[in-house]
Every structure is written in structure tokens, then in C-alpha cells.
Chains A and B, each alone.
Chain A
Amino acid sequence: MSTGCGQTMAADSSAQTSGMALSSPAPKATGLKSALNTLFQEHVYLAAAATGAALDGREAEFKAAAGALDQNSMAIGRAIGSVYGPDAEQAFLPLWRKHIGFAVDYTVGVAGKDRAKQDKAVNDLIGYTRDFGAFLNSANPDLPTKVVADLVQHHVVTLKSVIDAQASKDQARAYTALRTAAGHMQAIADPLADAIAKQFPDRFGS
């Protein structure tokens, strides 16, 4: 266990994603940013793996991907907890899982060509973005609720594009959309890491 939470998060993320250990300690701020980027991008790739398998009827693969996605959710929760404490982690995890549930609802709606279910899931996801923004704003006043909500809404939109392309069996479009969706997560991870570093300069400052 390292002394800085940034390094702890980086090491945790590394272990979760690749099993590799950090060869040398990164600066705290850099390590924090890298860890959050890894976790959030992993979230997108695993979510897409799960939705792709679900839409293609590959049940065993869907279950495995969904399990891995939840492991990623717990890792993100631990990252939040390492900064804001166990209470925050306990509150964050159900909130985070909620949006995954809505994405599953959307995927089921697409698979069943159920427009009403799709619309409800999209509305739930859009509504969720406000909750997520409020949570991070509560944790860190340097993260305005609306700014975070807009960023997460873009995450929803980009992931929806992936699911729609997967459903239409357009693999080229699906993977292009997937790269876009994964790339967008930096727009969430970087400001979050910067705000945490500003809030706790002793722990995460450069």
C-alpha cells in the first residue's frame, strides 16, 4: 500500500485491468488522472462488450461481461471511497450501478424493438445525469452539477450510439462509435482528477 491515495488508486486500477504493477511511482496527480481514465474507459469497453453480447444472444458472454462490468463499478467506487471515505463509496456505488441498469433497459428495448421502453430508458438516463452531477458537486464544490451532468449526458449519448450500431449489425460503425465513447471519458476523468487534486493538494498535488 502506498502512502498517497493517488498511487493507491493507480495501483488498484492497474491490478483490476491488466494485472500489471506500476514499475515506478507516478507523481500523485498524474497517477490519479491515469487511474480514473483507465477505470472510466474500461467501463465503456466492458459496457459495450455486455450490450453487444446481449444483442447478439450470446448469453454466457453477456453474463461474463456484466460481471466484469460490475467489478469495474466496484473499483470506481473504491476509487471514490479512497478520496471521500467509505460513506461516499457506499452512496456512490448504487448511484453508479443505476445508470448501468438504465443502459441495460435501453438495450433490452432495442433488442425487442420496444420504442416506449427505449424512450423511458433514455429519459431515465438523462435524469440520472443530474443525480451524478449533484453527487460529485457535493463531494467537490469545484465540480459544478450542470457541467458534470452535461459531460455524463454526452457519455450516455455516445454509448447509445454504440448500442444502436451494434443492434443494426454495423460493426464498423459500432467500433468507431466505441472509440469515440471511450475517448470521451477523458473529458470526465481529467476534470474530476484535477478537481480532486485542487481539493486535496497535500494528497494529490503535483
Chain B
Amino acid sequence: MRRRWELGVVLAGAFGIAAVAPAPSSPGVEIQLFRFRPARLEVQPGTQVRWTNRDDITHTITGGTPEAPQAAFRLVLEGRGAVADGTFVERGTYPYFCERHHHMRGEIRVQ
């Protein structure tokens, strides 16, 4: 089962999920064995990032950290094969984590 999340909104002025077809060369983050791989990804402003869930369970891409979650963005990847795309439009560092598995943490650096 493959699902795709496309939200045409820009949240908190920093993180947008673009409703466009992902470019084949878009950098991606694989979620496998309850880890984000790579855990840290550096991209340029306007780059679309794709998360792909390889685990047979729901994971979330939630802005911030478990200790200090941010409402800036939240995506739910419901099981194996689920994908979500996000376009980061402003420079900055965007930490994120999985709400169900707090040890799962990642970071997007927009430079």
C-alpha cells in the first residue's frame, strides 16, 4: 500500500508541503528499523524532501523534539510504503521526531 500526503499549505511560514510531483532526484529520508536515514539532511531552500516508511508500523514526522514539540509541521506515515513530501522554503535547522517512538529523531538543515 502506498499513500501520499500532499498539503498545499505553508505552515508557520517555514515548512511547506508542495502539491507537486516529486522530482526523481529529490533527496529522501528512509525510515527503516525505527531510524531516520540519514538522520541529518542538508538541502537548499525550496528543495523537496521525501520521507519513505519501510517499517510495518505508523511513524510521524513531527516538528521539534519530544521535549519541545513544534506545531510547525506534522506528517503521518501509516505503515510500510507510505510516503510524504515536504518543501523547506526558508533557511534554518528543522529538527523532527516520531511521536510514537521518541528515540527516532531527525534534522533538516536548509542552507
Q: Which A residues fall within an 8 A CB radius of B?
A: 84, 87-88, 90-92, 94-95, 130-131, 133-135, 137-139, 145
Main secondary structure of the interface of A (DSSP, over half): helix
Of the candidates A87, A91, A131, A137, which one forms a contact with B100 in the assembled complex, judged by CB atoms under 8 Å apart? A131
B35 contact set on A, CB distance < 8 A:
87, 90-91
We find that the number of chain B residues with CB closer than 8 angstroms to chain A is: 14
A131:B33 contact, CB within 8 angstroms: no
A135 near B103: Cβ-Cβ < 8 Å? no
Bound: A134/B34 CA distance, A: 9
B32 close to chain A: CB less than 8 A: yes
User: When chains A and B are docked, how far (Å) is the Cα of A134 from the Cα of B101?
Assistant: 12
- The 8 A CB mask of B29-53 against A (1 = contact, 0 = none) is 0001111010000000000000000
Contact partner of A95 (CB less than 8 A), chosen from B32, B56, B101, is B101
Q: Assess whether B6 is interfacial by the CB under 8 Å rule.
A: no
Q: Which residues of B contact A (CB under 8 A)?
A: 32-35, 37, 54-57, 100-104
When distances are taken between beta carbons in the complex, the residues of chain B under 8 Å from A134 are 55-57
Complex-state Cα separation, A95 to B34, whole angstroms: 9
Q: How far apart sit A84 and B101, CA to CA, in the bound complex (Å)? A: 19
* Cβ contacts under 8 Å, A91 to chain B: 33-35, 103-104
- Asked whether, in the complex, the Cβ of B57 is within 8 Å of the Cβ of A88, the reply is no
Instruction: Return chain A residues, CB-CB under 8 Å to B104.
Output: 91
Q: Are B103 and A131 in contact (CB under 8 A)?
A: no
- Are the CB atoms of B33 and A87 closer together than 8 Å? yes
Closest to B37 in A: A87
> When the two chains form their complex, are residues A88 and B33 in contact, meaning their CB atoms are under 8 A apart?
yes
